[in-house]
Structure 1
Amino acid sequence: MKFGWNLGNTLDAQCIGTLNYSKDQTASETCWGNPKTTEDMFKVMIDNQFNVFRIPTTWSGHFADEDGHKIDEKWMKRVHEVVDYAYNNGAFVILNIHHETWNHAFSETLETAKVILADIWNQIAEEFKDYNERLIFEGLNEPRKNDTPVEWNGGDKEGWDAVNAMNEVFLKTIRASGGNNPKRHLMIPPYAAATQENSFKNFKYPGGDDKLIVSVHNYAPYNFALNNGDGAVETFDAQGKKDLDWSISLIKKTFTDKGIPVIMGEYGAMNRDNTEERAKWAEYYMEKVTAIGVPQVWWDNGIFEGTGERFGLLDRKNLKIVYPSIVAALQKGRGLEVEVKHAAEAVAEGCWATELGFECCSEGNTRVVATDENGKWGVENGNWCGIP
């Protein structure tokens, strides 16, 4: 694995209150504003050395309420099609359960959640039973006590116990299914998948199964990467490095130092019109997680502007990398050759590089790859470009 990309806010979009699911089971894919997924989206990312694709998927609205909770055939067919877009191009694929409301970590709803969880995963396991180790199942996404004071602070005993119990059901369900599933790699999260001491300390990692991977999310440092309110900062400074180092160290000492594998299923830093700072952060982050052997998957929700969480990297409609300097930084931090392809068109005009016969780097590409007497150079689409 090199590094990865989330197809966020797409198959995981949930519009039960506004869509008639009985009329069109696949309409939810675009109901949060992203275009219908195509194979070319994955090919663009693969060209940029991404080779792990997480496909968050919401199953609510797509399965029956009665016993067995049968998944709608049209929805399963569409999920299968999207999985194949990445899988058939030689990439690793992570398929999960995402944005559900029935699997919150409460004791009063746990028994019902366990039944639904087993039913849904039984069907997914059967659908993909013949796929090889490049298809990974992730049992839950950020399971937590939603809308409570402990939702995001590491949880409490009720929440920890519920998450551990659901992880156990998921594991037993997949291992009891056919095909390649008894030996398939599986991802299970601690409470909320949160990189926090309480969450990690109370996580039950089952023994006796060498195909288990811990699923963690780490938007760090919080005020730079995720915070959209008071305290948010635009600069990746010394304090930010300290906070990020702490979180990586926690993952290392809790899991990887003990031989327990980890995949960072979500991370990223949202756009604050601070591309150069985000590129600096991306390279530093990638170096740190690479050093402890943790693959990571950028959360791309397709959003670039506005007041929400702005984690977009790929312009999916035009198949362009919007922030090539960030992608270049990820490549460099991972120790790969820096070569960004399908970059957004350059908008700068008349910079010094044109006089030397080179293009100007696009507006979002501020990642310096080399410097000489002429100025600062970046790379786009396999060619040198001048940074204005």
Structure 2
Amino acid sequence: MVSKRKVTPVCLLVAVLMIVSGLSGWTPTAKAFAQLNASQIVQQMGAGWNLGNQLEASSNGIPSETAWGNPTITKTLIQKVKAAGFKTIRIPVSYLNYIGSAPNYTINATWLNRIKTVVDYAYSEGLYVIINIHGDGYNSVPGSWLLVNGGDQTTIKAKYQKVWQQVAATFVNYDEHLIFESMNEEFDGTYGAPNSAYYANLNAYNQIFVDTVRKTGGNNSARWLLIPGWNTNIDYTTGNYGFVLPTDTYRSSTVPSSEKRIMISAHYYSPWDFAGEESGTIIQWGATATNPSKKSTWGQEDYLNAQMKAMYDKFVTQGYPVVIGEFGSIDKTALDSTNNTYRAAYAKAVCAAAKKYGAVPVVWDNGYNGQYGFGLFNRSTNTVTQQGIINAILSGMN
């Protein structure tokens, strides 16, 4: 157990900056940290749910949780998610133009405090919480800067280091229920085999992330850290495409040398024509499908299991837990009333395969419950909208 916070000059500096900036909730005493090994943390995290685009949303480079149509996040919503059976909440976060200028790259204090408030909604409920840098790595988002294909990598890396330094210091005293994720679907915006030079930049970001968080000390020196490969793609993370695991040089000596404190992130939306394509062509999935013309020619149970096994063989067997940080399928019931049956079958199969191969599944929910939405809850009324899919997720974890 970590009984007290190890204070470093970096941690002290950022703490002072936050206090001066008026950030609430800073506590000087670290909370006791449970040293969970790989299998224990996966078991404890159970099934997860994504807060979706809320703290990722932005307008003209300015993050805003209501910019993309969702209401302001409430603790009541988080409590409803917990009551539904989820044990982990992933909170995607964009910073964008709320990051100040060089050399300090100071995060807007109001925004950082709002992130902390939302984290506290879940953390105070005893849920596991994952926070990341999300939309800042998209070539298509105004204000994005964490670009593997960016021309000035020296500046990008300096900015990235400063942002994580501030975020890590904000949450330094939180216990093992908080997990940092270095970034999201990081790639150059083009699909296909990764560019090796750009992949090297991604690997460098992951290394900066691990080193920076660890150096802030306290519970961060033993915290579980989550990192992705190229575009969180399983093939490009497990195959011979250039993914490099970061070293963990500055990890706390309280962690047994035989254990890891790094997790690997991947997303699963295969087959895309069922899970994400906005058309009524493919609306069935899996062995129970009744109409071959409405079922994809790939991406069925055998493919799903092979993908999960690939992550297991590459990482879980070496002590690195896997988090399927996003999965799900869009609502096509307006086009075919049987679609929810297959969405539930898909969700159950993904969760069952994740459990079989030692991974944590975290379903994507963007808060939208209309046609082509991923919503499982109505965020205005704090009610469940897709109980069948939630039941399937929990069933897959049993």
Normalised to the residue count of structure 2, the TM-score between the two structures is 0.77
Residue of structure 1 equivalent to 2:57:
13
Shift of 1:259: 2.7
**Structure 2 equivalent of residue 206 of structure 1:** 246
Please tell me whether residue 270 in structure 1 is matched to residue 330 in structure 2. Answer: yes
Does 2:52 align with 1:2?
no
Q: Which amino acid counterpart does residue 315 of structure 1 have in structure 2?
A: N
RMSD: 1.8
Deviations 1:25-70 (A, max 9, x none): x7x1101000000001111111111010111010112121232111
Question: What percent of counterpart residues are identical?
Answer: 31
Structure 1 residue aligned with 2:112? 76
Whether 1:329 and 2:365 are equivalent positions in the alignment is no
The answer on 1:168 being equivalent to 2:204 is: no
- 1:222 CA displacement: 2.4
Shift of 1:73: 1.1
Matches within 5 A, 1:352-367: none
Q: Determine whether 1:193 maps to 2:232.
A: yes
More moved, 234-243 vs 93-102? 234-243
Count of aligned positions: 320
Q: Map 1:1-388; keep pairs closer than 5 Å.
A: 1-16=45-60, 28-100=64-136, 101-106=144-149, 108-146=151-189, 151-197=190-236, 200-201=239-240, 202-208=242-248, 210-228=260-278, 233-238=282-287, 239=298, 240-273=300-333, 274-306=339-371, 310-335=373-398
Paired residue type of 1:137: F
Structure 2 partner of 1:345: none
1:190 maps to amino acid: G
How far residue 188 of structure 1 moved from its aligned partner, in angstroms, is: 0.8
Could you tell me which runs of 5 or more consecutive residues in structure 2 were left unpaired when the two chains were aligned. Answer: 1-44, 137-143, 252-259, 288-297, 334-338
- In structure 2, relative to structure 1, the CA distance for the partners of 1:223 and 1:303 (3 Å cut) is same
Q: Which has the larger radius of gyration?
A: 1
Q: Which residue does 2:295 correspond to in 1?
A: none
Task: Determine helix, strand or coil for the equivalent of 1:295.
Answer: strand
Write out per-residue CA displacement over residues 303-336 of structure 1, whole angstroms, 9 at most, x where no aligned residue: 2224xx521111111111111111111111111x
Quote the Cα distance in structure 2 between the aligned partners of 1:254 and 1:109. 32
Tell me how far 1:114 sits from its aligned partner.
0.6
Kept after mapping to 2: 8 A contact 1:13/1:31: yes
Structure 1 unaligned residues grouped into runs of 5+: 336-388
Whether contact under 8 Å (2:234, 2:266) holds in the other structure is: yes
Tell me the TM-score normalized by structure 1: 0.79
| SS at 1:217 equivalent | strand
| 1:168 counterpart letter in structure 2 | Q
| Deviation string, structure 1 residues 162-185 (Cα, Å, up to 9, x no partner) | 110111111111111132111111
Paired letter, 1:256: V
Question: Which range moved further: 203-212 or 84-93?
Answer: 203-212
What secondary structure does 1:11 align onto? coil
Q: Distance in 1 between matches of 2:364 and 2:218?
A: 31
The answer for the alignment partner of 2:35 in structure 1 is none
In 2, Cα distance between equivalents of 1:178 and 1:255:
26
Asked whether the 8 Å contact 1:226–1:270 carries over to 2, the reply is yes
**Deviation per residue, 1:134-177 (Å, 9 max, x gap):** 1111111111112xxxx232412022111101111111111111
Q: Which residue of 2 aligns with 1:361?
A: none
Give the letter for the 2:183 counterpart: L
1:260 shift after superposition = 2.0
Distance 1:200 1:226, change over 3 A: farther
Distance 1:229 1:167, change over 3 A: farther
Q: Which structure has the higher relative contact order (CA within 8 Å, separation 6+)?
A: 2
SS in 2 for 1:105: coil
